[in-house]
Every structure is written in C-alpha cells, then in structure tokens.
Amino acid sequence: MVKIKDENEQKLQNMFRAWYRKGIVLANNGKYFEAINWYDRALEIRPHHADAWYEKGLALYHIELYEEALKSFGESLRINPNDPDAWYAKGTTFFNMRLYSNALVCYNETLKIDPQDAIALFMEESAAKYM
C-alpha cells in the first residue's frame, strides 16, 4: 500500500514538473495564453506552489489581464510572503493600472526584503511622484 502511494505521488510530482516547465517555456516564447493553461494544470496538482502562481501572474500581466494577475501574485504571496519578485510584480501591475498608492506599498515590501533592489527603488520613487 505504501509503495503504491509513493509511486502515485511520484507520478503526480513528475506531471506537475512537466506541466509547470511547459508553461515556463511557452511564456518565454510569448505564448502566454497557452502558458496559463499549463500553469493551471500544474496548480491542480500543487495548489500551494508559490512559484507556479507567480509565473501564472506574469503571463497574465503580459496579456494585460491585470486583475487576474493580481490574484495570482496575491496567492503566491499568501504562500510565500517573503518573495521580493512577487511583491515587485504586484507593484508593477498596480502601477500599470495607475493605482500608484497600491504600487508604492508593494515596492516598499520589495525593499524591506531586498533593500539593494535598485529597480524597485526607482519604481517606488516613480509611484510616489504620481501620488
């Protein structure tokens, strides 16, 4: 019984990795809609995988589905609140939505985690100018 459970878990893990990586390859080639479908499939197997939520958010961002991107970044940050890349991406999404005060909060979070992030510092200053 334990061996069957271990084998099934390994199969699921392999499927997750394959689908997640396929999403990354598709996104890297600008095929964002297809990438999102593969991220969704991967997340059915591992719904608590912060990086998969983050990558899905990036794909949604690139096709300007900002509200959906924010949901994905939010889920990623719920799982891993110390990811400066997810905070930065969430901030940039808010910035593109012209929600500068929300963007500023996210850039501040990025800088709390990674004070040396020069791009986040620049974007923080940019968001502050629009407020």
DSSP string, 69-114: HHHHHHHHHHH-TT-HHHHHHHHHHHHHTT-HHHHHHHHHHHHHH-
Looking at the structure, tell me whether residues 75 and 119 fall in a common domain: no
Looking at the structure, tell me whether residues 61 and 12 fall in a common domain: yes
Encode the chain (131 residues) as per-residue pLDDT tens digits.
Answer: 456 567 888 899 999 999 999 999 999 999 999 999 999 999 999 999 999 999 999 999 999 999 999 999 999 999 999 999 999 999 999 999 999 999 999 999 999 999 998 888 888 888 888 87
Looking at the structure, tell me whether residues 64 and 100 fall in a common domain: no
Looking at the structure, tell me whether residues 72 and 43 fall in a common domain: yes
| DSSP one-letter string for 12-58 | HHHHHHHHHHHHHHHHHTT-HHHHHHHHHHHHHH-TT-HHHHHHHHH
- CA end-to-end span of the chain: 61
| Interacting residues of 47 by C-beta distance below 8 A, sequence separation 6+ | none
**What residues make up the domain containing 42?**
1-81
Looking at the structure, tell me whether residues 115 and 51 fall in a common domain: no
Looking at the structure, tell me whether residues 25 and 73 fall in a common domain: yes
* Other beta carbons less than 10 A from residue 56's beta carbon: 29
pLDDT of amino acid 21: 98
Looking at the structure, tell me whether residues 53 and 101 fall in a common domain: no
pTM for the predicted model, two decimal places: 0.90
Looking at the structure, tell me whether residues 67 and 105 fall in a common domain: no
Looking at the structure, tell me whether residues 101 and 118 fall in a common domain: yes
Work out how many domains the chain is built from and give that number. Answer: 2
